[in-house]
Amino acid sequence: MSDEGTDQEGQIREPDRAASGAPAAGWAIGDRFSTTEIFQRLLASADEEVATGTTELLFSGVAAGFAIVLTFVGHAVGSALFPNNGFLAAILYPLGFVYIILGRYQLYTENTLPPVALVLARLASLPLLLRVWGIVLFANVIGAGLGAFILANSHVLSTTAMHAGAEFTRSGLEHAWWDVFFKALFAGWLVAGVVWLSIAAQDTIARLLLIYSVFYMIAAAELYHVVTTAADALFFVFLDVPSPGLFVVFYEFWLPVLLGNTVGGVFLVALVNYGQTEQRRFPEVRELSAREVLFSWKGGRSHTTPRPYVEENEPETD
């Protein structure tokens, strides 16, 4: 098979070449997206996120928070069965994330990091980004809290598994604040990588293996994800065991996880993925001004067709 083809006049044309002289397109690399193509698909996905209505964000976020309880259950059961083997104890940890990501639920970090790229490209405003973050995080915690409350006040888990589940927060509180933050920072970096790579993947099996391996590593390396940590912490608070109190658990454990995940994920999106993309500006799309980026509620339109650049005093046409 050749990259060569013919033009409209029937003349044989030379194949497109990269700077190295290798073919820039064709059957040899046709199954891989370029960095710019991945970035454009990321923007399209992010545009859908910021355009989603409040009710849809809430319900999808609650569903994601409740589904993350499957991760808590799997991790607690694995830790009960293999108390001295963290490698095996983490084997069921990714289950909730598989449900959430393949099901396209709204999860803080996984679905809320792409809009950062939209803000960097000046296609959506910062207040719009913070709106999505706030609604999804709130809904995730509500869903995780509901599941944790049911587990703490029922016999779904064995006694051994319940003790193992309580140990997640107890051991987290033993770490210094900054240790928890940096563990969460690396977890946020990993999750942002899942977002980028899952867009590059072109089939469900590849996405499934990606999701499983990355989130398995988070548990096996004893890193922290903010929504899973919310389920861990609320389960611990709801249990009838001696507890330092909700505020201490929030400040000493959950807050550094939230900040670490956010900083780690935004760092990867902003400085790695965005920085390596050649096309960061799109002339056919109306970009927001600096004032609009900071203070408006603009953004979140479909990328299925280019948004026309609207000159001042000229009506926008569809």
Quick: pLDDT tens for 44-87: 888 888 888 999 999 999 999 999 999 999 999 999 999 999 99
- Asked if residue 286 lies in contact with residue 309, where contact means CB atoms within 8 angstroms, the answer is yes
* Average pLDDT of span 187-196: 90
312 or 196, greater pLDDT: 196
* Average pLDDT of span 180-201: 91
Of 38-47, 66-75, 135-144, 267-276, least confident by mean pLDDT is 267-276
Return the pLDDT at 309: 40
Smallest CA-to-CA distance from 267 within 117, 90, 82, 54 is with 117
HSE-CB at 177 with a 13 A cutoff on CA atoms is: 8
What amino acid is encoded at 199 in this protein?
I
Question: In sequence order, what are the beta bridge partners of 13?
Answer: 5
* Average pLDDT of span 286-307: 72
In whole angstroms, what is the distance from residue 103 CA to residue 276 CA?
29
Say whether pLDDT at 305 is over 80: no
Reported pTM: 0.83
* Average pLDDT of span 186-214: 90
- Both tokens of 28, joined, read 């040899």
Say whether pLDDT at 173 is over 90: yes
Question: In sequence order, what are the beta bridge partners of 124?
Answer: 299
Alpha-helical segments (H) within 201-286? 204-220, 226-238, 246-249, 255-267
Return the pLDDT at 113: 75
Question: How does strand 5-6 pair with strand 12-13?
Answer: antiparallel
What amino acid is encoded at 118 in this protein?
L
| Residue 155 CA: distances (Å) to CA of 53, 70, 148, 231, 252 | 37, 15, 12, 17, 29
Return the pLDDT at 102: 92
Break the chain into its structural domains and give their ranges. Answer: 35-281
- Asked if residue 184 lies in contact with residue 178, where contact means CB atoms within 8 angstroms, the answer is no
**Cβ neighbours, 10 Å, residue 36:** 13
Return the pLDDT at 11: 54
Banded pLDDT at 239 (limits 50, 70, 90): very high
Say whether pLDDT at 31 is over 90: no
- The chain-wide mean pLDDT, for the chain, equals 84
CATH code that applies to domain 35-281: 1.20.1080.10
